[in-house]
Amino acid sequence: MQASQPEPLALDGPLILPLAPEAVACGFPSPAEGYWSGDLDLIKHLIRDPASTFVWKAAGHSMTGAGINDGDLLLVDRGINPAPGRIVVAIVDGDYTVKRLDVIQGRTVLVAENRDYADIVLHEHTEMSVWGVVTWILSRPTIRRGVRPLR
């Protein structure tokens, strides 16, 4: 997707929310204490450096295996080293894409996390630069009624 670069986050101050005293069980329920243990500043928790952090909206389905769905918001930090294994926003021949950065048999590859999509194997004539590293994926939970997950 070809687009102009987004603006850095404009943060006026902390975003404080109450923090539960313990992790919530995803298996069998555990007894709750019924109180909050303090506050969590979401800005400090999610943002390493506000001046180098941007929000991108994901479009498409090539990264569903990494938990990135169409319409999710991605926090992208331009100040983090784009090491193999990280999910990155890359510019390939002038177009933006989100993929997992890897090196396979000595070649740089942008890996799609959906088998229905091809990886991007970089060749000597391919122009590619990493715009930034995805640090968080912000998505809404799926609403499902009367359907049990496949086992």
In angstroms, rounded to a whole number, what is the distance separating the alpha carbons of residues 129 and 121? 13
Give me the catalytic one of 4, 30, 57, 62.
Answer: 62
Domain that holds residue 77: 49-138
Does residue 62 carry a catalytic annotation? Answer: yes
pLDDT in tens, the chain (151 residues): 555 567 666 667 776 766 666 666 676 665 655 556 677 788 888 889 888 999 999 999 999 999 999 999 999 999 999 999 999 999 999 999 999 999 999 999 999 999 999 999 999 899 999 999 999 999 988 887 887 777 6
Give dist(CA 107, CA 97) in Å, integer. Answer: 18
Does residue 61 belong to any structural domain of this protein? yes
Find out whether 131 and 96 touch, Cβ atoms under 8 Å: yes
Name the helix (H) or strand (E) containing 70.
none
Closest listed residue to residue 76, CA positions, set 151, 2, 8? 8
Which of 37, 99, 129, 139 is flagged as catalytic? 99
Evaluate whether 126 touches 92 at the Cβ level (below 8 Å). yes
Which CATH number goes with the domain that contains 55? 2.10.109.10
Structural domain count of the chain: 1
